Structure 1
Amino acid sequence: MNPLLLGALIGAFISGCFIALQAPTNALLARGVGSAVNAALVSFAVGTIALLAVALAFGARPVPGVIRTLPWYAWTGGLYGAVFVAMAAWAAPRLGVTAFLMIAIAGQLAMALFLDRIGAFGLPRVEIGPMRLLGVGLVLAGAFLVRR
């Protein structure tokens, strides 16, 4: 197997594990700091410090000329993350981590199908065929069964 593909698969799996850890961790933080919004703020502050340390360690620097050419919506990724973190901190204690993530995964897959279909943000277009819909349906059915 291609080492880059293997690295991407392992990284995706670990990222998924971290998403599952994020909801209960931020719910605990929300209880301590008084609200889901405060928890998201603290979470993003810690994440910013961690990313700054990694960027400094690897010598990653933004390229000013390229930054100015980006469309406005290229800057909105952090907003999506902030909504997810705050919602996870608020909803996970009410729904349970599994139910919250099941519903979040349903939203992710629905949006992913749409984004693939239109080739959003310069990514290649991927048609929504019956097998893709069946695959998404099976993932959702599995998530539902885990909740039962």
Structure 2
Amino acid sequence: MYYFFLLLAFLIGVTNTFQSGVNSQLRLATQNPILSSIISFVTGLVGLLVCYALFNKAPMPSWDTLRSIAWWKWLGGACGAFYVLTVIFIVKDIGPANLLCLIIAGQLVAGVLIDHFGWVGFAVHPINAWRVLGIALIMGGVWLVLKN
């Protein structure tokens, strides 16, 4: 199962790259980046609703449970909207390779910090020399790609 999850993580990268191009073309077609983002999220919502209808076995949480969820735990959708809208705005100008290099660098830096401090419910994994070296190598790779 572990290797299957590794494959899925790789496929996330592939689909993110494809998504950037598709959404950029949608922006050109609609002439509106915000509308393009809305269309992207609506199609995603429809897909999730189909998955929910087909595969969900757990009962729906009560309204009281939903109301008791801390405000910051609802920010995932806002983060996704920021991602999609920003990509739609910038991918055509900086290109998918530059975009993804910077996204991956940001994800790695954020991931190491989140691991180190155990933010948002993650287990603590302290920063060490290997992680710092990994960040340095990624940043070097980003610099090489951006320089081209």
Aligned residue runs from structure 1 range 21-100, under 5 A: 21-60=18-57, 61-64=59-62, 66-100=65-99
Change (3 A) 1:136 1:62: farther
Compute the displacement of 1:137 (Å): 2.0
With structure 1 as the length reference, what TM-score do the two structures score?
0.89
Compute the displacement of 1:66 (Å): 4.2
Rounded to whole Å, the distance in 1 between the matches of 2:124 and 2:8 is: 24
Where does residue 15 of structure 1 map in the other structure?
12
* 1:28-50 superposed Cα distances (whole Å, 9 cap, x missing partner): 00111122211111100000000
Rounded to whole Å, the distance in 1 between the matches of 2:21 and 2:56 is: 33
Compute the displacement of 1:69 (Å): 3.6
SS at match of 1:126: coil
Rounded to whole Å, the distance in 1 between the matches of 2:135 and 2:95 is: 22
Rounded to whole Å, the distance in 2 between the matches of 1:122 and 1:103 is: 25
Percent identity (aligned): 27
The answer to whether 1:142 aligns with 2:141 is yes
Matched residue pairs, number?
145
Compute the displacement of 1:71 (Å): 1.3
SS at match of 2:9: helix
With structure 2 as the length reference, what TM-score do the two structures score?
0.89
Where does residue 101 of structure 1 map in the other structure?
100
Rounded to whole Å, the distance in 1 between the matches of 2:111 and 2:60 is: 28
| RMSD after superposition | 1.6
Rounded to whole Å, the distance in 1 between the matches of 2:60 and 2:71 is: 16
* 1:113-139 superposed Cα distances (whole Å, 9 cap, x missing partner): 111111012110111111101112222
The answer to whether 1:116 aligns with 2:115 is yes
* 1:56-114 superposed Cα distances (whole Å, 9 cap, x missing partner): 00135532264344211111101101111111111000001111111111211121111
Structure 1 segments unaligned to the other structure (5+ residues): none
Compute the displacement of 1:140 (Å): 3.0
Structure 2 segments unaligned to the other structure (5+ residues): none
The more displaced of 99-108 and 49-58 is 99-108
